Structure 1
Amino acid sequence: MYRILCDGKTLHDVRDLDYQVLNPKISLELNKTGNLDFGMLQTHHHVNDINKLKSRINVYEDDDLLFSGRSLTDEKDFQNTGQISCEGELSFLLDSIQRPHSYGTETTEIGTADTNIEIFKRLIQEHNSQVEEAKRFEIGVIDIESVTITSLSTNYEKTWDFINSNFLEKYDGYLRVRHDGNVRYLDYVKQYGNVSNQVIRFGENLLDLKKYSKAEDIKTAIIPVGKDNVTITTANGHNGTDYVYNQDAVNLYGWIYDKVDFSEVYDPDKLLEEANKYLQKCINLAITIELTAVDLHMIDVDINAIRLGDLVPCISTQHGIMSTFGDVSTYYLVSKYELDLENPANNKITLGRTISTLTDKQVNDSVNLKAQISEVRTEMYNLPGLSLEPITNTWMDANLT
């Protein structure tokens, strides 16, 4: 049961015809602010109670908070119907500026922060000092990898923009707004949601699939440069060269050089070690598989709902997709969730997984469907709240011959 509240006042409740909005839809995406859009008739009791940027709009499914944010824009159409657009709470970080500060081990500023985690905390503290209580965040869970920073400076950037370019694009993790009572926490975590026991399966709730690979980021040789222009020439064995390369990748793609800075490394041996680790990432194709599916919770309330950031097992033998139950590294991440509050049957989730491999062929060769199908059937029968219908087994057998 979906409800929309504005500053505690009911805008939408399907149980009350006097409190209805038109076509309410939510779009949630990892590391994005999120959006809520709906229409509103002039006869609605609270049509004049939504104050742009000031009012707080909350969307609930039963008692679960799905969206919280603020009204951003509104417009009226020919029939005088108001169209309201809202953005999520992460957008509050657009309201503050990071004044010039220097962070890292090389700065002389008093009370500086020397790691990415400590700097992140300082950025949020700076944000909180500029905005009203309703837009502040308490620092929550931070479990990203801690990295020592030599030098990082702010220069009047918006907090959201600075975090995007200097944190989200560099350190694997997701920003998550979490409410506990009246406290709003901002987490920076490696795993955003839960591990789901619902299965996305071809023939049941899988709507679409896309698989694509990108070769533009391939590098077969890199020239590493450390602190104070240190190179690897003295550490690179008998070669004495200033670069590292991978012969298999060169044979496949040819010589593709890139220069990479390791500003924290000053020892040539350590620089060589880090360069070889980095090269392994550069020689692989990023093969991304993106799925679009329906949450079966919309049909059967006894099946656990899928939420943004959840890890979900996916099965589509037709496309060579076979998650191994219990091995979350083979699960797919819910990166986007689109909800139609008026017609929940239209709710749609987008899941994705990126595989690094030297060639496209390695992905296809990695799945032996015949060998795994009996194991998959057995495990799927044992999942709580799920059953594998005989017609599904028949389909699988017919398509595996």
Structure 2
Amino acid sequence: MYRIYSDNELIYDPLLHEYMITEGSLKLELNTSGILTFTIPKDNPSYGRIKLMKSIITLYDDDRLLFRGRAYAPTIDLFCNDEIECEGELAFFNDSIQPPFNYEVGDVKTLFQNVIKIHNAEVSEDKRFIVGDVTVTNDTATGNIVRSSTQYLSTWEILREKFIKLLGGYFRLRHEGGKTYIDYLKDLNFIGNQEITQCINLIDAKKEVSSDNLATVIIPLGARVKNEDGEDTDEYLTLKKLTGNIRIEDKNGIETYGRITKVVHHDHITDASNLLKAGQRDLADALGVTTTITLSAADLSKAGYKVSPFSLGTYIPVKVSNLGIDKKMLIKSLSIDLLNLGSNSITIGSSDRSFAQEQINTKETLKTVNSNLQESIKTSSSIATVRAVREANSNINHSAEQIRSEVSEGYYNKEKADELLESIRTIITQTASGIELTFNQYKSEQAKINGDTSNRFAEITKYIRFVDGDILLGEEGNPLTLRIENDRINFMENGASSAYWQNRKFYAVDGEFINSLRLGKFAFIPRTTGNLSFTKVVD
């Protein structure tokens, strides 16, 4: 159950009618702030109370915090509904400025801590972060990092340009003890227990092959060479003196793809041996084509299955036979409709470089292969996600005793035509003594997702009956039913009346009031001490 708060004041709760929203969606993506949007109608008690750029907005799924951020783009529509757009906590780093700096020797964690410290000094308490785990390291032999800036940049620009783009890794936010922690992790090792499985919750699949970053020859360039006065020149450190050649080549790659040369800059490397190691890594990364797999899937935790919900930055098992996938993949983005749980989906992606496709020699051929793969996956995906055949029927039967009208809709396994997966049926039966409406639903559900294909079956029958002028409402086998008679409304329990309304009065076998009891202008109200008071509540 989703709930939204603004500065700890309730905005949305689906169980409270007055705290409703008319639209609501959440979009999360790794290393971005994320966006939460919702629309508050005018009759919501919290209407108009959100402060632009100042109010802290939180979104919970039961007790799990999904989003924390601020409102930054409110809009009032024609009907005076308040459309709120919120950005996540990482956007707080746009509020602080980092002065010019020259950081030549040190580890990643120390520089990261310094950047966060400067940010915290410029913002309010609710926008500060505590540095947690830092597992990203530099790629030099000593692990030291060289960073500098001559400009006044926002903290987010520094984090994005000087850390993520150059070192990779992921920012992860944690909330513990009322504090917000930020981790900078080389990889995310959190594992979820909900699978993506073809024919169950897979929505779409796409496989793309690209040669955009393909190279068989690398020219690595290091830092600028300094003159006698210690000033930078226009020359770069190369491998010429160390190896006699500025290039690093791969013979097998050249035979397979031809000579494709790429220049890679390493401005922080001042030693030729370290430049050689970096160039060798660059060549290994550039060899081969890139295969990217993107999947979309539905979240079964919102459909009654006993699995944990999808969570951003977690690895989950993926089994897609059409693509030959059976491995754990990282959830890179989430899209949640707060008012339509059935439409919630995730997108996960995985990219691998491979040197195996030796028959592919040109970029044009790669495009053709990519096009064919996408068309094949599109066809296979449509088969995977629609594996049931819909069959609809209606008929009317007449006899001397009754008239029976039936409308039904059934779904059958496409591969096993006689296997009924789900059916919904409405039957209206008219006799001389009355009319009966029966609603029947039959459903086959997979009991478990992880490797167990056993099924469970559920059949629910509900009815509305008109008998001798009375109306009966209930579910077959349920001890509680409602009977509307000519002079009373009867609540039945196991066939006997337990309570009823008659002549503007309510009669019950037993009664219990959870909070208070009001009689006209007076009421029995519990006190905080545990005592009960009878007092006047209306003048």
TM-score (norm 2): 0.62
- 1:143 correspondence with 2:135: yes
Change (3 A) 1:388 1:28: same
| Matching residue of 1:36 | 36
**Identical-pair percentage:** 31
CA contact (8 A) 1:27 1:35 kept: yes
2:28 corresponds to which letter in structure 1? L
Change (3 A) 1:79 1:49: same
Change (3 A) 1:362 1:163: farther
| Matching residue of 1:345 | 342
Change (3 A) 1:384 1:168: farther
**Residues 309-368 of structure 1, C-alpha deviation per residue, up to 9 Å, x if partnerless?**
110111111122122xxxxxxx1110001111111111101111111112557999xxxx
CA distance in 1, matches of 2:295, 2:186: 21
| Matching residue of 1:388 | 452
- 1:279 correspondence with 2:283: yes
| Matching residue of 1:397 | none
CA distance in 2, matches of 1:188, 1:5: 28
- 1:233 correspondence with 2:232: no
**Residues 11-43 of structure 1, C-alpha deviation per residue, up to 9 Å, x if partnerless?**
111111011112211101000100110111111
- Give, in angstroms, the shift of residue 267 of structure 1: 4.3
CA contact (8 A) 1:195 1:311 kept: yes
CA distance in 1, matches of 2:150, 2:237: 27
CA distance in 2, matches of 1:272, 1:192: 30
Change (3 A) 1:225 1:386: closer
| Matching residue of 1:262 | 266
| Matching residue of 1:194 | 190
Change (3 A) 1:61 1:150: closer
Structure 2 residue matching 1:73: 3-state secondary structure: coil
CA distance in 1, matches of 2:317, 2:359: 21
Q: Greater helix share, 1 or 2?
A: 1
Change (3 A) 1:335 1:360: farther
Counterparts of 1:40-189 in structure 2, within 5 Å, are 40-105=40-105, 114-146=106-138, 147-153=143-149, 155-189=151-185
Between stretches 212-221 and 44-53, larger displacement belongs to: 212-221
Structure having greater relative contact order (Cα 8 Å, sep ≥ 6): 1
2:89 corresponds to which letter in structure 1? E
Counterparts of 1:205-216 in structure 2, within 5 Å, are 205-216=201-212
Q: Greater strand share, 1 or 2?
A: 2
2:340 corresponds to which letter in structure 1? N
Larger Rg belongs to: 2
CA contact (8 A) 2:24 2:337 kept: yes
| Matching residue of 1:357 | 354
CA contact (8 A) 1:193 1:307 kept: no
CA contact (8 A) 1:100 1:154 kept: yes
- Give, in angstroms, the shift of residue 211 of structure 1: 1.2
CA contact (8 A) 1:303 1:386 kept: no
- Give, in angstroms, the shift of residue 72 of structure 1: 0.8
- Give, in angstroms, the shift of residue 133 of structure 1: 1.0
Change (3 A) 1:34 1:193: farther
CA contact (8 A) 1:7 1:56 kept: yes
- Give, in angstroms, the shift of residue 255 of structure 1: 1.7
Alignment RMSD, CA only? 2.3
Change (3 A) 1:193 1:89: farther
CA contact (8 A) 2:256 2:359 kept: no
CA distance in 2, matches of 1:358, 1:103: 38
- Give, in angstroms, the shift of residue 2 of structure 1: 1.0
CA distance in 2, matches of 1:231, 1:250: 22
1:90 corresponds to which letter in structure 2? L
Structure 1 residue matching 2:240: 3-state secondary structure: coil
CA contact (8 A) 1:302 1:385 kept: no
CA contact (8 A) 2:39 2:84 kept: yes
| Matching residue of 1:327 | none
1:273 corresponds to which letter in structure 2? K
CA distance in 2, matches of 1:209, 1:170: 30
CA contact (8 A) 2:108 2:136 kept: no
Between stretches 62-71 and 219-228, larger displacement belongs to: 219-228
Aligned residues: 355
CA distance in 2, matches of 1:362, 1:166: 39
Change (3 A) 1:387 1:71: same
Between stretches 282-291 and 10-19, larger displacement belongs to: 282-291
| Matching residue of 1:110 | none
- 1:300 correspondence with 2:296: no
Structure 1 residue matching 2:72: 3-state secondary structure: strand
- Give, in angstroms, the shift of residue 151 of structure 1: 4.1
- Give, in angstroms, the shift of residue 303 of structure 1: 1.0
- Give, in angstroms, the shift of residue 141 of structure 1: 1.3
Structure 1 residue matching 2:43: 3-state secondary structure: coil
1:124 corresponds to which letter in structure 2? I
CA contact (8 A) 1:138 1:186 kept: yes
2:350 corresponds to which letter in structure 1? R
TM-score (norm 1): 0.83
2:117 corresponds to which letter in structure 1? Q
Structure 1 residue matching 2:191: 3-state secondary structure: coil
Counterparts of 1:307-346 in structure 2, within 5 Å, are 307-323=311-327, 331-346=328-343
CA distance in 2, matches of 1:276, 1:384: 47
Change (3 A) 1:71 1:256: same
CA contact (8 A) 2:48 2:82 kept: no
Change (3 A) 1:71 1:192: farther
**Residues 255-297 of structure 1, C-alpha deviation per residue, up to 9 Å, x if partnerless?**
2222323344444444333322221101132211010001211
Between stretches 295-304 and 136-145, larger displacement belongs to: 295-304
CA distance in 2, matches of 1:151, 1:296: 45
